[in-house]
Amino acid sequence: MLIKILYIIFVTVYSLLLILAAIKGPGNKSIDLKKEKLPMITGGILTLLSSLAMLKLFLPYVILLSIGLILIHISSILNGYKLHGKLNLSHHTVKLVISALIIFLFCYIILS
């Protein structure tokens, strides 16, 4: 049960940080990122909702988590190309590791 609570806290904090980063934007750069912000905010919200669904439901959780993480990665790729003109490999590696950790913890909680 402790791992489940820690997992929910971890996913909630991660989701809220992604939503905040998308809303706050790239700082003082004058690039319009509306197209790139929408998938990040949507992915963050879906991932956040999936952490709450973990308390009771299995199938909606898997669907919300999968769609949320995919949208977060797509948005990160779009933002990287829009802001820097290239894919920032280290940034995406960190996101991939966090996503893998979320999925691993999910599997551990469900199987235990």
CB atoms within 10 A of CB 23: 11
Q: What is the dihedral of CA 24, 27, 33, 37, to 10 degrees?
A: -30
- Summarised one tens digit per residue, pLDDT across range 83-107 is 888 888 888 899 999 999 998 888 8
**What pLDDT sits at residue 17?**
93
Closest to 76 measured CA to CA, from 43, 40, 25, 33: 40
Each residue's pLDDT tens digit, 22-61 = 888 765 455 555 666 888 889 999 888 888 777 776 667 7
φ, ψ of residue 109 to 5 degrees: the values are: -65, -45
- What pLDDT, on the 0 to 100 scale, is given for residue 59? 66
Burial tier of 22 (Cβ tally within 10 Å: 0-12, 13-18, 19+): buried
| Dihedral sign, Cα of residue 10, residue 6, residue 67, residue 46 | negative
Q: Residues 98, 75, 15, CA angle at the centre, nearest 5°?
A: 45
Q: Work out the average pLDDT over 78-83.
A: 83
